[in-house]
């Protein structure tokens, strides 16, 4: 197991987080994925890096046949206990040889690719398991605006404008991420890899895949009352949180 990128040690915390009613997963990502994928009876979906099965459960409710794969044994245990009608496996997204060639219609990788080092190996496996007309939907933190250690919200007191500060973008980087910021004594971390968009496009192309659609998704949240509320709400609509790539086989 790749200890530095697995969420095994924080599985209970992550499960509790996604069970909230006002999460980005429930309010932004899931509705958009359901719109794009339109899961239905007979559709075979592979949920790679599925975590505790949050998205898998929604696909099953729509009638799809779902396989979930995650490297965290703790998260897979939660998924098996919670989601009926799906098959779950503990495995790396880079090594899914137990899934037959050209056997799935859709592959979903949601907020996970930035925690995986060897993305080429993952895309190679995606290419192998996809049916000839199959697609992959790749959802990631927007790499143009959300760069660990190199991006932040700032406020110009003169113009009264909030803006997104970007200190670097083209340089690939690796960052250790604190899973519990602000909590003393809690040292759980994971690793996030920043890559400019051209890296993803090139690696996809090198593995016989191409992007057919790109969407950028904004936050659903609003600020509480205060002098910066209007400006904060405005900039939330201008700087997307998430990027979704629809990918097909060339």
Encode pLDDT of 59-110 as tens digits.
999 999 999 999 999 999 999 999 999 999 999 999 999 999 999 999 999 9
Range of the domain at 102: 8-144+193-226+241-249
Q: Is residue 173 part of a domain?
A: no
Assess contact for 177 and 189: CB atoms under 8 A: yes
Q: How much is the pLDDT for 73?
A: 95
How many structural domains is the chain composed of?
A: 1
Determine the average pLDDT of the residues in 12-26.
67
Selection from 194, 131, 140 nearest residue 167 by Cα: 194
Determine the average pLDDT of the residues in 119-148.
97
Q: Is residue 30 part of a domain?
A: yes
Measured CA to CA in angstroms, residue 61 lies from 32, 65, 66, 108, 118 at distances of 16, 10, 10, 16, 32
Q: Which is it for the CA torsion 121, 127, 128, 134, positive or negative?
A: positive
The neighbouring-strand residues paired with 189 are 178
Q: Is residue 48 part of a domain?
A: yes
80 membership: H or E segment, kind and range:
helix 73-82
Rounded to an integer, what distance in angstroms lies between the CA atom of residue 61 and that of residue 131? Answer: 22
CATH code (residue 208): 3.40.50.150
Q: Is the per-residue pLDDT at 113 higher than 90?
A: yes
Pairing of strands 189-194, 173-178: antiparallel
DSSP tag of 26: I
Assess contact for 44 and 104: CB atoms under 8 A: yes
Assess contact for 70 and 49: CB atoms under 8 A: yes
Q: Is residue 83 part of a domain?
A: yes
Q: How much is the pLDDT for 10?
A: 47
What 3-state DSSP class applies to 43?
coil
Query: What's the mean pLDDT when you consider all of the chain?
Result: 91
Q: How much is the pLDDT for 181?
A: 52
Please give the residue that has the higher pLDDT: either 68 or 176: 68
Q: Is residue 166 part of a domain?
A: no
Tokens (6 digits) for 84? 């009926």
Rounded to an integer, what distance in angstroms lies between the CA atom of residue 87 and that of residue 198? Answer: 34
Tokens (6 digits) for 23? 């999460």
pLDDT confidence tier of residue 237, bands split at 50, 70 and 90:
very high
Q: Is residue 90 part of a domain?
A: yes
Assess contact for 83 and 63: CB atoms under 8 A: no
DSSP tag of 111: S
Q: Where are the alpha helices (DSSP H) in 4-53?
A: 11-18, 24, 30-37
Q: Is residue 231 part of a domain?
A: no
Q: Is residue 154 part of a domain?
A: no
Q: Is the per-residue pLDDT at 2 higher than 80?
A: no
């Amino acid at each position: 197991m790749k200890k530095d990128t697995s969420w095994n040690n924080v599985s209970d915390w992550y499960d509790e987080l996604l069970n909230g009613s006002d999460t980005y997963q429930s309010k932004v990502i899931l509705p958009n994925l359901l719109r794009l994928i339109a899961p239905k009876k007979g559709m075979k979906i592979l949920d790679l890096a599925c975590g505790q099965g949050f998205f898998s459960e929604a696909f099953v409710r729509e009638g799809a046949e779902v396989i979930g794969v995650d490297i965290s044994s703790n998260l897979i245990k939660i998924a098996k206990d919670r989601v009926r009608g799906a098959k779950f496996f503990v495995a790396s997204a880079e090594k899914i040889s137990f899934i037959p060639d050209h056997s799935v219609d859709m592959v979903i990788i949601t907020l996970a690719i930035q925690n995986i080092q060897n993305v080429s190996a993952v895309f190679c496996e995606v290419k192998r398991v996809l049916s000839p007309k199959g697609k992959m939907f790749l959802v990631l933190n927007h790499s143009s605006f959300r760069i660990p250690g190199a991006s932040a919200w700032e406020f110009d007191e003169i113009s009264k404008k909030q803006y997104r500060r970007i200190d670097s973008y083209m340089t690939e980087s690796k960052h250790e991420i604190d899973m519990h910021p602000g909590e003393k004594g809690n040292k759980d971390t994971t690793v996030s890899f920043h890559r400019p968009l051209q890296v993803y496009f090139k690696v996809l192309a090198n593995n016989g895949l191409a992007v057919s659609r790109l969407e950028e998704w904004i936050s659903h949240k609003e600020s509480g009352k205060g002098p910066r509320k209007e400006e904060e709400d405005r900039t939330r609509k201008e700087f997307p949180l998430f990027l979704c790539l629809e990918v097909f086989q060339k």
